Amino acid sequence: MKYFFLLIPVSLLLFLNQGGSKPTETIHDYGPEYHSGLNELQTKAEYFHHSVTKGGSQQELIKAFHSCKKAYKRVEFLTDYLDHEFCNRYLNGAPLLKLEKNSPVPTSLEPEGLQRLEELVYENPPNIGEIKKLSGSFVSSTKKFYKVQTNLTIQDRQAFDAMRYGIYRIFTLDLSGFDCPSSDSAVSNALYSFGSIAAMYQEYEDELRQKNEKLFDETTDRFSEAKAYLQSNQDFEEFNRLYFLREFLNPLCNAVLKSRESLGIEKWSEVFAFDRSVSETEGLLFGSEFLNPYFFSKFPEEEDSEIVQALGKELFFDPNLSSNGQRSCASCHNPKLAFSDGKRKSISFDQKSTTPRNSPGLINAIYAEKYFLDLRSEDLESQIENVLFSSKEFAHDWKTLEESLLSKGYDQRFTQAFPQHKERPINKYTVASALTSYLISLQGLDSEFDQYARGETQEIDPEVEKGFNLFMGKAACATCHFPPTFSGLVPPYYYETESEVLGVPSEAAEPFELDKDLGRYDGRLEDRIDFFKHSFKTPTVRNIQHTAPYMHNGVYDSLEQVVDFYNRGGGMGLGLDVPFQTLPGDSLELNSKEINQLIAFMNALEDLSSADTLMEIKGY
Amino acid sequence: MKKLYSLALTILISTVGFAQFPTTMEIDTTWLPDEVVMPASPLKMQVIFVGGYDMVQTTSTYGNPAGEAVAKQWHDFIGFTPDNSSNDLGWVSVNHEMIVPNDSIGDGGGMTVFKVRWDQATDSLKIVPQTLSDGRSGDFFNVDFVNHTGETGMNCGGIASIVDGRIWTAEEWFRGSNQDIADRDASDFTIGTGTANGISSPAGFPGFNGETISKYQNYNYMVEIDPREAVAVRKQYNWGRQAFEGGVIMADNKTVYLGEDGTPGWFSKFVADTAGVFTSGDLYVYKHDAAGANWVQIDNTDLNKMLNYKDEAVSAGATMFNRIEWVTMDNNTGKVYFTETGRDNPGSRWSGEHAGGAVHAPHHIARATAQGTDADSSDYEDFYGRIMVYDPVTDEVTVFLEAGPAMPDPPTSPYPYRALSNPDGLSVFYNQGNSYLLIQEDLNGTSHGRVPAGVQNRTCEMYMLYLGIQNPTIDDLRRISIVPKGAEITGAIGIDDNIILVNSQHPSTSNPFPFNNSLTYAITGWNGVLSDLERWNPQVESSFNFYPNPTTRELFLIEPMDVAIYGVDGVRVKVLRNVKYVDVSDLTPGTYFVKNSVGETKKLIIR
C-alpha cells in the first residue's frame, strides 16, 4: 500500500442561536447547597486571611486555618470532581513545586492552597509574610472559583459520579493523611467529606424509596455507621483502615453505583464518546476490573484479541527484535521474576556493560500515565521505540526490524492479528500494538490481600492487616504508592503518574553519596527543571518480593534495606544534600516489628498468575 | 396554541422534576413513529500521510547513506505550495514538533514534504510520486536540514506565502543551552555550513557567513525550505532569534509579520528591500504607544542583537503579548490576525521585562483593571486567550475575539453551549470569494470551564468563523467535528475552495489506526456545504422538536431539552441533558429511536 487511504464522513456542527432556556431537569438540584458551601469556604478564607493580617497568635491562625480546611472538606467531593485541575493548582494541591502545563518553556509553579498553608501555620516560628501572601491568594482563588462554579448546574449523573469518586478519595487520600502534611486531622477531614456525601445521598430519598427501598435503607444505615466509626476512631495511627474498607466503603461504593442504576441515571459512556480510567460497573476499589487498562494505552479494546495477544507474547520472547538477534524483551523482563531481571542494572546489547537503570517488573505496568523510570514516554508505542533505538538495548530501527520480521515469516501471523493491515501487516503500529496487547494481559490484581479487601475471603494474617494499616498510615507509604495499584498512579481519577525525589544513594554502605542519575530531569525536554533532578517514577509494590534489587539503581538487595531507607528519611535522613527531596527528611520511627509487618503486607500482594502460564515458553 | 400546549408540558415536567429515560425501551415494530433521516455528510475525510508509519526518502546524513526511514511524528503546521506548471495541485509541507535523535532523518524535529493531485475518477486526492534532483525518488521526502542549515527542532507553526507558496518553518521552544538540544554534534556552529563538517551549505546567509555561534543558538529561527526539492534553504537570522510560532507574508511579497510564543511574546515586522528577497530589509517590533508609527526598528545587521532579540525588544519598550501563536492574513481585507493563546497567571513572567521598559498591551491593562488588579500581579489571570487583529491601515492591534466559555445566564447547563479556549492554530480559508478563519485550540489546561465539568481530557477542537460577520462573538463560531473521537487538530490550511488539509497529533485516548497516530488528512467537499454554512442557521420549518440539517450528522432541537437515544434493540445508548444539539457522528449508521423529555419518540435513521 503506497499510502493510507480512507474515506469516512465528516460532520460539521452548527450551533444554533440560543433561544429560551429552561433548567435541566434533575431529581435534586444540589446547586444551592453547593454554592452556599462555596460561599462558606470564601467566608472562612477571608476570616483566616483577616486573622493573619491583624497579627493573630499562631494558635489563632491554626484555628482559623482548620475552620477553612473544614469548609473545604465539606465541598471537596464536588469541587474536585467538577474542576480537579483548579483545585489541585490553587485550593488543595500537594505543597510541592509543580510544572506549568503546556508552557513554552519549562516553568515551575510555587505551591498554593491549603496544604502549603498548613505547613506554614505549623512552622515554628511561622513565616507571617509568606502566610499573608498565600492566604491572600487563597481568598482570591476561592472568589474566582465561585464565579465560574455558580454559573453551572449539577446534574444527577455528576452528583452520583462525585459521590463515588468522593468515597474513593476518602479512603485513598484523606485517611492516609495525604493532604494534611503537618497536623493530625486526617480522620476528621474524612468525616467532613463523608458527612457531605451522605447528605447528598439523602436528597434522593423519595425517588430511591420508590425504586428500591431496601437499597436506600441499607445504604443510609451504612453511611450512619461509617460516620459513627469515624467519630469514635479519630486516632490516625490506630485507625483500622482495612476494617473500615470492608465494612463500610466497599458496600457504599457498590450502593452508589446500584442507586444510580436503579434511578436510570445515565452512565458516563452514554454522555461522552471517550473512555476513562475507572470502570462503570465495578464499584470496589480492589476489584480486579476496577481500572480499565485500555484507558492507559492508545491501542483500542475493539482491536484487541487473543490472536494479537499471542503474537505480542511471541514477539516479547523473540531475540529478533534486537539487531544482533541476541536480546529480547525477556532478556531484562524474566517472567520468573515478575518480569524483572534480578540484576542491579541490566546487561546491555553488547553484553559487556549495563543499561543505566534497574529493570522494573511488568505485571500491572500498563497502569501508568507515562513509562520509564524517568517518565519520558507518554505511551507504550514510544516506550517500545526507545528500547528499539537504544544502542544499549536493541540497537535497531523500524525499517530493518520490519524487514527482519518479514524474513522470519511473521507476515502471516500479523495479517491474522491485524486484518485491516493486510497490505503491510508488519509495521511500527502493529508491532507496538501486539506488544501492548501482551503487556495489557500481564495483570495481577487478585492477590490474597485483594481477595480479603473485597470481602471474598474472611481471614487474613493479622500481621498483614497491621502492615496494611501502617502502609496506609504511620509509615506514609500510601501517600506515594496509592491504592489499588500501590504505585504512583494518583487516585481518585487515576490518569496521572507521579515521580518522587528520594535521595537514593549510589551505594548501600557508608560513606553515602547521592546517586548521580538525574532521572526525570534528563528525560523529556519539557521536564528539564531543577526540581525534577533525581526524580523517578513511583513503581508498584505488588509482587515486590520477586523484583529485587530495588530502587532505580538497584542499590538495595532486600526489602528490609528499602524500608530502613525510608524509615531514616530518605537521602536527607542519610545526611545527604537533596534540595528538592519530596520525602520528608525526618524519621518515620518504625520499629523492627512494624517493619516486618509492612513487609508481610507487601508479600501478601503477590499475584503471578499472568506470568505462570508462560513458564513453558522458550525455556522459561 | 401549540406554544401554550408546550408551555403546559413544561410545567408538568418541572413538577415531575426529572426526565426519566429507562435504560431499555420496548420497540413496537407495528407502530411507526415520525421518521427523521440523517444523510451522510457531503464532506469526506481522506487520510494522506501517517507519521510513524509512512516511509520518507532521506539524504545521506551523518555519514549514513541516503535511503528510507519511518517518518517522524507530532504533526503541527501544514503548508501548501501550488504547482502552476502542471495539472497537479502542488506540494504539501508538514512540520514535526518534536526533538528526537535520528540517524537518517537528522536529530531534532523536521519536516516531510509530498506532492498531491486531484483525481477526478475517484473524487479524491492522490500522492504524486516524484524524483528529486538529488536523486531521491518516492512519495514522501524528508526535508534535509542537517546538511544545509544545521538541525532543526520543535517545528511548530510556519509561513506559507500566498504570493508564491514559499514555505518557512518556525522553531519554537526557546533553547537556553546545549543541554536543551538533542544533537549528537553540539560543537559550535559556523553560519553557512551544515553540521556534517565539510559539506557546505549552498546558500548560507549573506552578511553572517563564517560567524560562529553556540549550537543551541542555531535554533529558534524561521527557516525557509524548498518543498520541491525537500531541502532547507536558510535560517532567517535577520528576523531575530525568537521562540517563533507563526508568521505571514503579505501580498506585496516584502512585508512579513511574525509572532513569538512567550510571555512576553513580541509582534514583529520585517520589510524586505526587494520583493521576494528576504535576506535584506528592515526589522521592527510592535510598540502600540510609540510616537508616530507603532513600530520601533531593531538593527538586524548586528548578529549579536539578533541573537538577543528579547533584550532589544525590551529596551525598545515594545508591547508585550501573552504567547502569540499563529499569524495569518485575510487577503480580502489585508488585515492580519493572530492568536494570543494566553497563560493562566502571566504576572511574574513579564513583570521583569515591564520593569525593564517593555509595555503591557492595552487589552491586558484593561482586563487586569476589570479583575481589580494589575497585569504584573499573580492575581491577574488569562485563562482562555483570544484572537487579535492588526489593521495595517490604522496601524493598530486590537482584540478581535475574546475566548472563553459563553456562560448562560441564568445558569442552565453543566457546560456552556460554546467555549473557545487557548486558540493556537489559525489560517484563512477562502470559498467562493468569502473568507473564513480556521481556528484550532490547544488547551493549556482543563480548569475554569475549558472542558465540561468532571472531564479530565483536554479535548481540542477546530472552529470556523465567517469573517464577513461584524464584531463576532463566541456564538458565531461553528465547530467542525471530525470523525473519529479525540484526534487533536494542530494545523489546517485550505488549498482551494473544496479542500482543507488538516494535521492532527496523537490523541490522548485510544483510537483505531491510524487515528492514534500523527496524521495529515484532507476534508474535501466544501463546495456547496459553505453556501449552507453562510446561512448559518438551518431553516427551521418544523413542528417537531428535533430535526436533521441536510448537511450534518447532528440532531437539532428547537429548544434546550433532555433527550435519549435507543438502539433498535431498545437499549439506551446516549443521554444528553439540556442540549440544543446532539452529535450522533459516533453512532454507527442504522436505525435508532430518539425520545425527548416529554416522551415523544421519533425514529432516527443515520446513513
Q: Do the strands B319-320 and B359-360 form a parallel or antiparallel pair, or are they unpaired?
A: parallel
Model confidence band, residue A251 (pLDDT cutoffs 50, 70, 90): very high
pLDDT band at residue A25 using 50, 70 and 90 as cut-offs = low
pLDDT score at B376: 97
Give the residue-averaged pLDDT of B417-424: 83
* DSSP-derived secondary structure for B557-599: EEEEEEEEEEETTSBEEEEEEEEEEEE-TTSPSEEEEEEETTS
Q: What is the structure's pLDDT at B545?
A: 64
Residue B205: HSE in the Cβ half-sphere, 13 Å Cα cutoff: 28
User: How far does A146 lie from chain B, in Å, by closest CA?
Assistant: 10
User: Can you tell me the distance from the alpha carbon of A359 to that of A151, in angstroms, rounded to the nearest whole number?
Assistant: 50
* CB half-sphere exposure, B172, CA atoms < 13 A: 31
Mean residue pLDDT of chain A comes to 92
Distance from CA of A531 to the nearest CA of B (A): 16
Q: What per-residue confidence (pLDDT) applies to B10?
A: 33
Of the pLDDT bands very low, low, confident and very high (cuts 50, 70, 90), residue A601 is: very high
Higher pLDDT, B35 or A84: A84
pLDDT at residue B538 in the model: 46
Q: Torsion-angle region of residue B276: left (phi > 0), alpha (psi -120 to 50) or beta?
A: left
Give the whole-angstrom CA distance, residue A597 versus residue A615: 31
The answer, yes or no, to whether residue B485 has pLDDT greater than 70, is no
Which candidate, A291, A278, A575, places its Cα nearest to that of A443? A291
Q: What pLDDT, on the 0 to 100 scale, is given for residue A389?
A: 87
Q: Do B446 and A23 touch (CB under 8 A)?
A: no
Higher pLDDT, A38 or B509: A38
Question: Grid coordinates 450551533 are at which residue?
Answer: A15
The residue in chain A having the minimum alpha-carbon distance to the alpha carbon of residue B373 is A140
Contacts of B50 in chain A (CB under 8 A): 4
B407: chain A residues, CB-CB within 8 Å: 151
Q: pLDDT band at B100, cuts 50/70/90?
A: confident
Question: What are the chain B neighbours of A162 within 8 Å (beta carbons)?
Answer: 454
Gap from A236 CA to chain B (nearest CA, Å)? 31
Q: Which comes out higher in pLDDT, residue B8 or B110?
A: B110
Q: Contacts of residue B554 in chain A, CB cutoff 8 Å?
A: 11, 13-14
Residue A15 and residue B580: Cβ atoms within 8 Å? Answer: yes
Enter the C-alpha cell of residue B497: 475552495
Question: Which of B54, B418, B552 is the closest to A11 by Cβ?
Answer: B552
CA distances from B141 to B57, B69, B135 (A): 5, 10, 11
For the ranges A173-187, B3-17, B273-287, B522-536, the one whose mean pLDDT is highest:
B273-287
CA A239/CA B560 separation, integer angstroms = 49
Specify the CATH number for B546-606; select among 1.10.3470, 3.40.1350, 3.40.50, 2.60.40.
Answer: 2.60.40
Backbone angles phi, psi at A607, to 5 degrees: -150, 100
* A3 closest CB neighbour out of B127, B509, B577: B127
CA distance linking residue B24 with residue B200, whole number of Å: 72
Say how far apart CA A125 and CA A127 lie, in whole Å. Answer: 7
pLDDT tens, position by position, B288-317: 999 999 999 999 999 999 999 999 999 999
How much of chain B exceeds pLDDT 90, in percent?
53
Q: Residue A411 above 90 pLDDT?
A: yes
Q: What is the mean pLDDT of residues B188-201?
A: 65
Residues 6 or more apart whose CB falls under 8 angstroms from that of B58 comprise B66, B67, B68, B69, B104, B105, B136, B142, B144
Q: Which residues are paired to B176 by β-bridges?
A: none
Q: What is the mean pLDDT of residues A221-234?
A: 96
| Cross-chain residue pair A144–B511, CB shorter than 8 Å | no
Q: Per the CB < 8 Å rule, is A148 touching B509?
A: no
Tell me: pLDDT of B41 over 80: no
The confidence band for B7, taking pLDDT boundaries of 50, 70 and 90, is very low
Nearest CA in chain A to B129: A2
Residues B16 and B584 sit within 8 Å (Cβ to Cβ): no
Lookup: cell for A445: 490484581
pLDDT band at B486 (very low <50, low <70, confident <90, very high): low
Cβ-defined contact of B512 to A154 (cutoff 8 Å): no
Chain B residue with minimum CA distance to A32: B411
Greatest extent of chain A over all pairs of C-alpha atoms, in Å: 79
Range with lowest mean pLDDT among A128-132, A587-591, B206-210, B411-415: B411-415
User: Residue A285: pLDDT band by 50, 70, 90 thresholds?
Assistant: very high
Q: Looking at CA atoms only, how far is residue B202 from chain A in angstroms?
A: 30
Q: Cell 524500608 sits at which residue?
A: A563
Domain-by-domain residue ranges, chain B? Answer: 5-344+382-536, 546-606
Which residue of chain A has the CA closest to B519? A4
Does the pLDDT at position A475 exceed 80? yes
Q: What sign does the dihedral B129-B132-B138-B142 (CA atoms) show?
A: negative
* Residue B30: pLDDT band with limits 50, 70, 90: low
Please give the residue of chain A at the shortest CA–CA distance from B520: A4
Q: Out of A152-156, A391-395, B520-524, pick the least confident.
A: A152-156
Terminal-to-terminal C-alpha distance of chain A? 39
Is A23 close to B412, i.e. CB distance below 8 A?
A: yes
Question: Which of B197-206, B216-225, B582-591 tops mean pLDDT?
Answer: B216-225
Q: What is the pLDDT of residue B552?
A: 63
Query: What is the distance of C-alpha B231 from the center of its chain?
Result: 24
The helix (H) or strand (E) run that includes residue A260 is: helix A250-262
Do the chains contact at B448 and A148, CB–CB below 8 Å?
yes
Q: Cβ contact (<8 Å) for B480 and A6? A: no
Residue of B297 and B413 predicted with greater confidence: B297
Query: Mind listing the pLDDT tens digit for each residue in A441-471?
Result: 999 999 999 999 999 999 999 999 999 999 9
Q: Which residues have CB under 8 Å from A499's CB, separation 6+? A: A374, A375, A488, A519, A520, A532, A535, A536, A537, A538
Q: What is the mean pLDDT of residues B151-179?
A: 92
- Take residue B415 and report the three cell numbers written for it: 457546560
- Among A71-80, A273-282, B174-183, the least confident range: B174-183
Q: Which residue of A has its CA nearest to B263?
A: A104
Identify which of A13, A107, A299 has the shortest CB distance to residue B552.
A13
> pLDDT tens across B498-521, in order?
999 999 887 666 777 887 788 899
Instruction: Report yes or no: B555 and B604 within 8 Å, Cβ to Cβ.
Output: yes
CA distances from A358 to A335, A354, A607 (A): 16, 9, 21
Say whether pLDDT at A548 is over 50.
Answer: yes
Say what the pLDDT of residue B4 is. Answer: 35
Q: What is the pLDDT of residue A18?
A: 29
Task: Look at A189-193, A567-571, A591-595, B48-52 and tell me which has the smallest mean pLDDT.
Answer: B48-52
Domain B5-344+382-536 sits in CATH 3.30.420.40: no
User: Chain B residues with CB inside 8 Å of A491's CB?
Assistant: none
Residue A118: its H or E element: helix A114-122
Q: Is B357 left (phi over 0), alpha (psi -120 to 50) or beta?
A: left
What integer pLDDT is reported at residue A612 of this predicted model? 66
Ramachandran class of A46: left when φ > 0, alpha when ψ lies in -120 to 50, beta otherwise: alpha
Question: Taking CB atoms and an 8 Å limit, are A271 and B576 in contact across chains?
Answer: yes
**A-B contacts at Cβ under 8 angstroms:** 305
Name chain A contacts of B349, Cβ cutoff 8 Å: 107
Query: Taking 60 as the threshold, does the pLDDT of residue A230 lie above it?
Result: yes
User: Phi and psi dihedrals of A596, rounded to 5?
Assistant: -65, -35
The per-residue pLDDT for A182 is 82
Residue A242 C-alpha, separation from nearest chain B C-alpha, in angstroms: 29
Spatial distance between the Cα atoms of B185 and B511, rounded to a whole number of angstroms: 38
* pLDDT digit string, tens, across residues A357-382: 999 999 999 999 999 999 999 888 88
Cβ–Cβ below 8 Å for A276 and B48: no
Q: Contact B506/A12, CB-based, under 8 Å?
A: no
- Mean per-residue pLDDT of chain B: 85
Tell me the three cell numbers of residue B513: 489506526
Whether B417 and A15 lie within 8 Å, measured CB to CB: yes
Chain B residues whose CB is inside 8 A of the A414 CB are: none
Percent of chain B with pLDDT over 70: 85
What is the ipTM metric for this complex? 0.89
* Whether the predicted pLDDT of B606 surpasses 80: yes
Distance from CA of B186 to the nearest CA of A (A): 16
Residues of chain A positioned with their CB less than 8 A from the CB of B415: 152
Helices (H), B333-441: 347-355, 362-370
Nearest chain A residue to B554 by CA distance is A13
Inspect the interface and report whether the beta carbons of B509 and A86 lie closer than 8 Å: no
Q: State the cell numbers at B385.
A: 486567550
Give the percent of chain A with pLDDT over 90. Answer: 84
> Between A186-202 and A58-82, two packed helices, what is the crossing angle to 10 degrees?
40
A137/B560 CB distance under 8 A:
no
Give the per-residue SS3 of B211-274.
Answer: CEECHHHHCCCEEEEECCCCEEEEECHHHCCCCEEEEEECCCCCEEEEEECCCCECEEEEEEEE
pLDDT for B102 equals 85
What is the mean predicted confidence (pLDDT) over A262-286?
A: 91
Would the CB atoms of B412 and A158 count as touching at under 8 Å? Answer: no
- Nearest residue to B497 (alpha-carbon basis) of B475, B469, B528, B518: B528
Rounded (10°) angle between helices A428-441 and A398-407: 80
Distance of CA A534 to the CA centre of its chain: 20
B116-152 tens-digit pLDDT: 999 999 989 999 999 999 999 999 999 999 988 989 9
β-bridge mates for residue B193, sequence order: B200
B199 pLDDT more than 60: no
